[in-house]
A and B are shown apart, each in its own frame.
Chain A
Amino acid sequence: MKARPMKARIIVTLKTGVLDPQGKAIEAALTSFGLSGIDGVRQGKVFDVEIAGDDRAAAEAILKSACEKLLANTVVENYAIEIA
């Protein structure tokens, strides 16, 4: 039986201090619905990735490389990797 792939989630967020016009627009929309208590919204991205095999350390290295090479622009974005 073929092993099920490992599931990983990568979360990319804007660094603190980087202006997020989309987040601001979403915040304004939420406030316009009458939802109170929302103090700020920052928009980010989520990537769900499946990785063959069961070597978690190797998977982490692959995903880190994926983030650095393409998934995040580290000038303005941070990334976090979660492997289930």
Chain B
Amino acid sequence: MRAAIIVFPGSNRDADVARALTRSGAEVVKVWHADTELPAGTDLAVLPGGFSYGDYLRCGAIAGRAAAMDAVRAHAARGGLVLGICNGFQILCESGLLPGVLMRNVDRRFICHRQSLRVERADTRFTSVYAKDQVIDVCVAHGEGNYFADPDTIARLEGDGRVAFRYSDAAGNLTVDANRNGSLNSIAGIYSEKLNVLGLMPHPENFVEDLVGGTDGRGLFESLAA
């Protein structure tokens, strides 16, 4: 598994996701946003969390039009894997690689806490190490994570099984309290039509070491490297 992490001005979780990938056996290369090509042999392009371009205009709006994103789009069109975490999910939506948009959290607050997620399917390249309906313990840290799309898009995502993760309680129930940012249908992450692009707001890369409180995030990187 060869992973290319795209670094934008204001990305700040690139080192963490690199660490999570390398400990799962992936080879990691960093790519600057102005680069027009991904390294030869790239299997996975990663858009890390952070605050690209200071969240100016809209979160992910300017990064979504960066030169490297043309290369990421071409990679995705060839069936290559793409993972966007937090700001990376916002960038995927702004770049048109995933539908919908991440709006300001419903209670207007930046939220930063541990979060239970329900794994909606375990038959993709991103989740094969997990079980369907498994509840995993990860972290969220965002101000704009409120997933929104028009009713037709939501119906299509649901009908095609493209919801990857949902905010749940520890037992896997979808409650209003567990869905702190107000996302439609408690959506925490979605796939592209061909299931090769995944965007999610929570940070699995935060929880890959016992030292920092949890290891449930490992499954995503181990699935990718498997």
Contact = CB atoms under 8 A, between A and B. Distances in A.
A75 B101 contact: yes
Interface string B144-174: 0010111000000000000000000000000
A51 B126 CA distance: 47
B101 A21 contact: no
A21 B57 contact: no
Contacts of A75: 93, 99-101, 148-150
A71 B103 contact: no
A21 B58 contact: no
A73 B104 contact: no
A76 interface: yes
Contacts of B93: 75
B106 interface: yes
Question: Main SS of the interface on chain A?
Answer: helix
Contact of B65 (A21, A25, A70): A70
Question: Main SS of the interface on chain B?
Answer: loop
Contacts, number: 37
B106 A19 contact: yes
Contacts of A73: 58, 61, 94, 101
B149 A21 contact: no
B65 A69 contact: yes
A71 B57 contact: yes
Interface residues of B, number: 21
Of the four ranges (under 10, 10 to 19, 20 to 34, 35 or more), the interface on chain A belongs to: 10 to 19
Contacts of B146: 19
A19 B108 contact: no
B107 interface: yes
A70 to B, nearest CB: 6
Contact of A21 (B62, B94, B105): B105
B103 A19 contact: yes
Given A19-B182, A76-B101, A70 B57 contact: yes
Nearest to A47: B57
A57 interface: no
Given A19-B103, A75-B100, 8 more contacts: A18-B103, A18-B148, A19-B182, A22-B108, A71-B57, A73-B94, A75-B148, A76-B148
Interface of B: 57-58, 61-62, 65, 93-94, 99-101, 103-108, 146, 148-150, 182
